[in-house]
Amino acid sequence: MNESNFYITTPIYYVNDIPHIGHAYTTILADVLARYHRLLDRKTFFLTGTDEHGQKVQQAAAKRGHTPQEHCDKYVVRFQDLWKRLGITNDDFIRTTQPRHTTIVKKILQDFYDRGLIYSGSYKGWYCVPDERYFTEKDLVDHRCPECHRPVEELEEKSYFFKMGQYQDWLINYIEEHPDFIQPEHRRQETLGFLKNDKLGDLCISRPKKRLEWGIELPFDPDYVTYVWFDALVNYISAVGYLADDEKFNTWWPASCHLIGKDILRTHSVFWPTMLHAMGLPMPKTIFAHGWWLVGDTKMSKSLQNVINPMDMVDKYGVDAFRYFLMAAMNLGLDASFTEKLFVERYNAELANDLGNLSLRIVSMIRRNANGILPDYQEPGEDEKELVDATMTAVKEMSAAVESMQIDKGLAFVITAIREGNRYFDKMKPWALAKTGDLNTLGRVLRHTAECLRIVSGLLYPVMPAKMTELRTTLGIPSDDIMPSITRLSNWKGLQDGATIAEAAPLFPRADPIKEDDAQQKAEPKKAASKNKDKQPVNLVTIDQVGKVKLKTATVIKAEKVPEADKLLKLQLQVGDEKRQIVAGIAEFYAPDQLIGMTIVVIVNLKPAVIKGIESNGMLLAAKKGKALRLVTTDGEIASGASIE
């Protein structure tokens, strides 16, 4: 592939249910990245789609009295409609039931079989029906599925296997030699951890038709269908013409970025690379696993009835505000919390207040004091220095953030530039200049604020395309520049002298704040009591005493409950090159799953202790107030083993 081309994919979603905020997030993120790369003038291909085979779909269809294909045709529309509503600009939508996909899967299977890469054998193991995966006895947690914690069934059957195990050393070397291949770093470490500690077995790629009919029939045995993951992963190449359209395939493969959630890391970081290697194809440049959206601190689940429907948020606050929140509030790679209260707080502060105010102020000033005509350009002077610096920093940082997958960080720089715009406006007091008749300075202030707005609206365009189109149109930007290009955003002068500034309604009307939830209100009276406590004299320590405590960052690799201890979790940590085990009293606040991959802070020179018969080597730091407890983490990505200074 031409290095400057950008090919991005989302996971293909199961069509067994309605899409929720998790699906919306991955797709919006891919859309934002695709749009940013277009803005950076790169040729871009963005793929999403649906995963339509397998037991889950067969079961969901049977429950509703439909054939599996009828079920897929009905449910796929919900995804396609949601993507339209969310402004998703995918270039293709692949469905794994389409012949363009199924024929390629069959060709790959036949080729592997002919080359002895697939063989038949007998398989005995523990099978998780919802995840459609086999596990060994050792993988199980409390005799349940280690992924979804649901019960598993013991099965033995004739199966076909892909010789995945033979690629173990190759894969370890590849990951070690390509630090960008699996991102973020803690997911790369997690993959290397299980590849180095466990023997990689062969992959069972068949399901007997007597148990599961809904799948791609194996070309060499009509009694079997293909394991859904082997089928699904191939979408990333079948969609761009593998074995069908060489020119298209060579234009886009290898993919630049497979965007996935952390829940499907192993299938992408182990199954997929070994399959590609067996096909003799180059690896995708990056497989990026993002964190999960939690509701408050809790995992979203149907049984808890806390699943957020993206349509509800969009109907209430608009598509663009929803896209913005998802992008600004998640540090890519870590989990993030979604609550309507957090949403409204950020919406009011950054969109209604910072951005909304700046646009309204500039537009109404120009309309009132300059007859709606943009004043002529004047070179920026000392007064404009901070404004120009903050805005140009935002351009540079946003471009860097796209490359390093830190969209939230890039957006924070854009908001800083907007705040600088408001500060400049307040400092220069254009309303007073209008009164005193200093029209020259007035023109200069209005024009420079408008240029700042042009640039920040361009930087925000990939995240909020509809609202930024509105704003850019108001600023008199010609239609061929509404979708910005980075070159034009890097120039301070970009608007046209004498452009007409249109009348505009508020972009983001203020939303009613959401009241504290019940639990928080109950905690309120305690706050007053603890206020006085804060004022109590404390025992002062010297800097030497502080220096005795050694603190380091650690990545959580494994977390599990301690049997018969409701409050305790046993954590396995990676601290630089070293592994450590600690026992922590945080089980009431964190589910084990939630912790995997988190970077926390640990006291590493604490004397070992034995808690409930388990050795604990260190202590983690957490902030505690009333009934709330949150772990202390770092403000951004940093490798484990970093010392806290």
Q: How many residues are recorded in the chain?
A: 645
Q: Which residue's C-beta sits nearest to ligand MSP?
A: 22
Which letter does DSSP use for residue 118 in this model? E
β-bridge partners, 47:
9, 92
Residue number, 262 or 447, with CB nearest to ligand MSP: 262
- Rank residues 240 and 358 by Cβ distance to ligand MSP and give the closer one: 240
Q: Across the strands, what pairs with 294?
A: 299, 337
Q: Which residue type does 454 have?
A: R
Report how many residues bind ligand MSP under the rule CB under 6 A: 19
Residues 39-78 close enough to bind ligand MSP by CB under 6 A: 51
The pairing of beta strand 286-290 with beta strand 257-261: parallel
- Which residue's entry shows tokens 């199980």? 140
Using CB under 6 A as the binding rule, whether residue 575 contacts ligand MSP is answered as: no
Nearest to 235 by CA among 143, 429, 105: 105
Q: Does 471 bind ligand MSP (CB under 6 A)?
A: no
Binding to ligand MSP by residue 184, rule CB under 6 A? no
Question: Residue 268: which of 235, 225, 226, 239 has the closest Cα?
Answer: 235
d(CA 244, CA 415): 46
**Which window, 10-18, 39-47, 141-149, 275-283, contacts ligand MSP (CB under 6 A)?**
10-18
260 lies in the site for ligand MSP, by CB under 6 A: yes
Taking residue 89's Cβ as centre, other Cβ atoms within 10 Å add up to 15
3-state secondary structure 574-627: EECCEEEEEEECCCCCCCHHHHCCCEEEEECCCCCEEECCEEECCEECEEEECC
CA 71, chain centre distance (Å): 29
What is the DSSP annotation of 220-258? TEEEEEE-HHHHHHTHHHHTTTTTT-HHHHHHHPSPSEE
Q: Does 237 bind ligand MSP (CB under 6 A)?
A: no
- Binding segment (CB under 6 A) for ligand MSP, from list 6-14, 78-86, 366-374, 630-638: 6-14
Among 39, 171, 237, 264, binds ligand MSP (CB under 6 A): 264
Closest to ligand MSP by CB, 13 vs 160, is 13
Nearest distance, CB of residue 447 and ligand MSP, angstroms:
43
Q: Which is nearer to ligand MSP, 266 or 367 (CB)?
A: 266
If binding is defined by CB under 6 A, does position 79 make contact with ligand MSP? no
Does position 13 interact with ligand MSP (CB under 6 A)? The reply is yes
Q: Which of 23, 71, 101, 187 binds ligand MSP (CB under 6 A)?
A: 23
Q: Does 300 bind ligand MSP (CB under 6 A)?
A: yes
CB of 352 to ligand MSP, least distance (A): 26
Q: Which of 451, 457, 505, 516 has the alpha carbon at shortest distance from 324?
A: 457
Interacting stretch for ligand MSP, rule CB under 6 A, among 7-15, 85-93, 543-551, 636-644? 7-15
Nearer to ligand MSP, 326 or 477 (CB): 326
Our finding on whether 292 is near ligand MSP (CB under 6 A) is yes
In this structure, is the dihedral angle defined by the CA atoms of residues 535, 539, 543 and 549, taken in order, positive or negative? negative
Listed ranges 98-106, 227-235, 362-370, 400-408: which one lies at the site for ligand MSP (CB under 6 A):
227-235
Residue 325 Cβ, how far from ligand MSP at the closest point, in Å?
A: 14
Site for ligand MSP contains 232 (CB under 6 A): yes
DSSP assignment string, 541-557: --HHHHHHS-EEEEEEE
| Residues within the interface to ligand MSP (CB under 6 A) | 11-14, 22-23, 25-26, 51, 232-233, 235, 260-261, 263-264, 292-293, 300
